[in-house]
């Protein structure tokens, strides 16, 4: 079985936990997810199974949408509520809608972001959170990210007793964006400590929250032989590319990794045979021939 399952990840689980449970339920080893979600975050986690693991990177190119909350007046070492508090400030008055909107606007477009110290980014073969846990100083790499929009989803709330303010937001961004760092940077722009206090991934890989299935739903489907009804064809990850139907002669050439001289002009195309996406080709540097980029399924037949 090959394809994509838009899984709903619950809070309290790691993305690796989800993959492990899927392997057990599906009785498959070839399972992978398309973008880590922190344990305290819930939402859409597309899971690729079988040959569809080859299109994980293309799923990640779709971008993501999140909703959540940011608390002003508090900061932690992890930039979310899981970490140790490193800064607190009682706010003398709440920020206005306009002040927050203006600060959010500064954090949209093409940006350079420094990922959290407690993250899975690797530096010299070791993940950043390992440096953090061992207390070893390390320079975090700067990363280019894209934020399509960052806006308030409803009016903020001010807590008079704690002198903290909660901002409710929605953000659309490209891959590699850390929302908890965006939350921390929003606070810095306003001149106060801030922490991401809640987060849900609404869309990922072209799937939205309404299309997801829970692990329990997956278990029930497996027990009743209905798993195939929950699996999407891997071509959903490739729907933004032009598709080219191969002739039998071209198909024979492709199976051997051959180059193709086609009338197409797109940078990348999906080559199909027998109504099935088989591989991705891209134009060479001379822009004369299409050459292999990703081989997905080179078998002759397939079952409906």
Which residues make Cβ contacts (< 8 Å) with residue 191, sequence separation at least 6?
none
Same domain flag for 279 and 255:
yes
What pLDDT is stored for residue 301 in this prediction?
A: 58
- For residue 179, the enclosing domain spans 64-203
Which residues make Cβ contacts (< 8 Å) with residue 31, sequence separation at least 6?
19, 22, 23, 47, 48, 49, 53
pLDDT tens digits, the chain, 304 residues: what are they?
899 999 999 999 999 999 999 999 999 999 989 888 888 999 999 999 999 999 999 998 898 999 999 999 999 999 999 888 999 999 999 999 999 999 999 999 999 988 877 777 788 888 888 887 888 888 888 889 999 999 999 999 999 999 999 999 999 999 889 999 999 999 999 999 999 999 999 999 999 999 999 999 999 999 998 999 999 999 999 999 999 999 999 999 998 888 988 887 788 999 999 889 999 999 888 777 889 998 998 886 544 3
Quote the CA–CA distance of 127 and 120 in Å, as a whole number. Answer: 5
Same domain flag for 136 and 246:
no
Quote the CA–CA distance of 260 and 250 in Å, as a whole number. Answer: 8
Question: Which residue among 2, 17, 38, 242 is the active-site one?
Answer: 38
Nearest to 107 by CA among 49, 164, 171: 171
Which residues make Cβ contacts (< 8 Å) with residue 160, sequence separation at least 6?
none
Same domain flag for 40 and 54:
yes
Same domain flag for 197 and 70:
yes
Helices (H) and strands (E) in the chain, counts: 7, 17
Same domain flag for 32 and 106:
no
Domain membership of residue 226 (yes or no) is yes
Domain membership of residue 210 (yes or no) is yes
CATH number, residue 270? 2.30.130.10
Specify burial of residue 210 (Cβ count, 10 A radius: 0-12, 13-18, 19+): exposed
Strands of 51-193 (E only): list them. Answer: 64-72, 74-76, 85-88, 109-113, 122-123, 126-127, 143-159, 164-173
Active site residue 242: no
CATH number, residue 25? 3.30.2350.10
Same domain flag for 72 and 89:
yes
Domain membership of residue 284 (yes or no) is yes
Same domain flag for 85 and 186:
yes
What pLDDT is stored for residue 303 in this prediction?
A: 46
Same domain flag for 131 and 41:
no
What pLDDT is stored for residue 126 in this prediction?
A: 83
Domain membership of residue 192 (yes or no) is yes
Domain membership of residue 300 (yes or no) is no
Quote the CA–CA distance of 117 and 119 in Å, as a whole number. Answer: 6
Domain membership of residue 230 (yes or no) is yes
Same domain flag for 246 and 129:
no
The domain tally of the chain equals 3
DSSP per-residue string spanning 88-110: E---SSPPPHHHHHHHHHHT-EE
Domain membership of residue 195 (yes or no) is yes
Show the tokens assigned to 231.
């699996």
Same domain flag for 248 and 290:
yes
Quote the CA–CA distance of 67 and 188 in Å, as a whole number. Answer: 20
Tell me the CA end-to-end span of the chain in Å, nearest whole number: 11
Is the alpha carbon torsion for 94, 100, 103, 108 positive or negative? positive
Domain membership of residue 278 (yes or no) is yes
Same domain flag for 42 and 9:
yes
Same domain flag for 34 and 110:
no
Quote the CA–CA distance of 284 and 267 in Å, as a whole number. Answer: 9
């Amino acid at each position: 079985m090959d394809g994509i399952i838009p899984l709903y990840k619950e809070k309290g689980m790691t993305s690796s936990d989800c993959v492990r449970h899927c392997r057990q339920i599906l009785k498959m080893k070839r399972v992978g997810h398309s973008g880590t979600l922190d344990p305290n975050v819930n939402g859409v986690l597309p899971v690729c199974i079988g040959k569809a693991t080859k299109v994980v990177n293309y799923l990640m190119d779709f971008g993501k949408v999140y909703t959540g909350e940011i608390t002003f007046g508090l900061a932690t070492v992890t930039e979310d509520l899981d970490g140790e508090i490193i800064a607190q400030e009682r706010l003398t008055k709440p920020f206005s809608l306009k002040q927050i909107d203006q600060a959010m606007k500064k954090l949209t477009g093409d940006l350079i972001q420094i990922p959290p110290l407690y993250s899975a980014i690797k530096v010299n073969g070791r993940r950043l959170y390992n440096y953090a846990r061992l207390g070893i100083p390390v320079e975090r790499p700067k990363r280019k990210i894209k934020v399509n929009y960052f806006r308030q989803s409803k009016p903020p709330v001010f807590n008079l007793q704690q002198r903290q303010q909660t901002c409710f937001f929605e953000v659309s961004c490209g891959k590699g964006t850390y929302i908890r760092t965006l939350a921390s940077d929003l606070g810095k722009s306003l001149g106060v400590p801030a922490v991401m206090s809640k987060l849900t991934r609404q869309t990922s890989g072209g799937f939205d929250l309404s299309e997801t299935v829970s692990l329990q739903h997956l278990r029930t489907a497996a027990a009743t032989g209905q798993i195939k009804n929950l699996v999407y064809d891997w071509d959903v990850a490739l729907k933004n590319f032009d598709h080219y139907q191969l002739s039998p002669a071209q198909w024979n050439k492709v199976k051997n990794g051959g180059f193709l001289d086609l009338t197409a002009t797109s940078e990348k195309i999906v080559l199909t045979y027998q109504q099935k996406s088989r591989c991705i080709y891209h134009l060479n540097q001379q822009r004369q021939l299409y050459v292999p980029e990703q081989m997905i399924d080179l078998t002759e037949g397939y079952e409906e």
